[in-house]
Amino acid sequence: MAGIKFEQVWKRFAEVTVLKDLNIDIGDGEFLVLVGPSGCGKSTALRCLAGLEEISEGNIWIGDRVVNDVPPKDRDIAMVFQSYALYPHMSVYDNMAFGLKLRKVARQEIEQRVKEAAEMLSIGHLLDRKPKALSGGQRQRVALGRAIVRDPSVFLMDEPLSNLDAKLRVQTRAEISKLHQRLKTTFIYVTHDQTEALTMGTRIAVMRDGILQQLDTPQNLYDQPQNMFVAGFIGSPAMNFFEAKLEQANGGLAVVVGNEFVVPVPKSKATKIGSHIGKSVSFGIRPEDIHDADYIPRGVDENARLTTMVNVIEPMGSEVYAYIESSGKEFIGRLDPRTSARTGQHVEIVLNMDKMHLFDRETEKALV
């Protein structure tokens, strides 16, 4: 097992800079997820770590050695790709054993490793089958098994679940998390799916345009995003944002979005943002912090009330997504399923301002 370190890593392709001064320290046995939109540099960072791309500047450490000039085969890593990359003419057993045979591992040890990995992944009964006789989920488990038998210091996974359907994705996601707990090896996982990131990672690195935006635990990313990009990327549905002003009202502070959209700021937060009175800010509130006034959860202050127009209702069973409008601004709330909100009607809502977010309009950095 080994820790990983990206130290001021840059990667350029001709005139295009894909990674910009990337610094990440990954602990031994950690499950780190690199997440971000397409083109943000997350897969390039993984390929640089694997040795499939040369870095332009900086150092990459695996354990206590710099591996900039170390060939991929000598980095003691195993990689699982989006495509399963199985040999179609080989059985499951031979696919899993192939890498060990190339390394001249003894036949008895190969057999033991393959069987142990197959049982771990519940594919022991499939060892004689060819890949064409397997489902997508089974093929992905074979690809995982091929990586496991090598017993590497680091597992690298590049969007391994994106070819699976929704149900299989959830199931395989849980299997990978169990695998990490069992092996206690360093895992680095790349995805654009923030749900995968939140549910699997011990820490998450959010990237944008080759720049690391925030590196933190899933809960801290959700509760304390450092900028608007992280706030909008983490959470589903995404956080609602409004152009607003901070003004004094009724002896305190209020967020003013429009004539009808004025909500008080809790005293606990007002002391931190008093210097922004009269200034333009970006106000953020998550859909789950918007409640039907008739069904307010215990502990939520009822002062921040708005009367809104309902544009669209999406019943989800355990909750209702309501697309609502106030002062010409449409936003989304996740309401109690008992809500009486109906399309084309008015509904009174309460915003949980203890969970509010404020950002500087110019820098997009968090103020609260």
Q: Which residues contact 209 (CB under 8 A, 6 or more apart)?
A: 20, 39, 40, 41
Dig out the tokens for 163 from the structure. 């070819």
| Torsion 133-136-140-141 (CA) sign | negative
* pLDDT tens-digit map of 123-158: 999 999 999 999 888 888 898 889 889 889 999 999
* pLDDT tens-digit map of 47-104: 999 999 999 999 999 999 999 999 998 999 999 888 888 999 999 999 999 989 988 9
**CATH, domain range 4-233:** 3.40.50.300
Confidence of residue 32 (pLDDT cuts 50, 70, 90): very high
Give the per-residue pLDDT at 136: 84
Dig out the tokens for 24 from the structure. 């990440």
For residue 173, how many other CB atoms are within 10 A of its CB? 20
Task: Give yes or no for residue 250 having a pLDDT over 70.
Answer: yes
Give the per-residue pLDDT at 170: 87
pTM across the whole model: 0.89
* pLDDT tens-digit map of 93-121: 999 999 899 889 999 999 999 998 898 88
Q: Where are the domains of the chain?
A: 4-233, 240-295+303-360
Rounded to the nearest integer, the mean pLDDT of the chain is 92
Task: Give yes or no for residue 368 having a pLDDT over 80.
Answer: no
**CATH, domain range 240-295+303-360:** 2.40.50.140
Q: Percentage of residues in the chain with pLDDT exceeding 70?
A: 100
Which has the higher per-residue pLDDT, 40 or 274? 40
Q: Percentage of residues in the chain with pLDDT exceeding 90?
A: 72
Answer whether 157's CB lies under 8 Å from 189's CB: yes
Q: Mark 178-208 as b/e (b = at least 16 C-beta within 10 Å).
A: ebbeebebbbbbbbbbbebbbebbebbbbbb
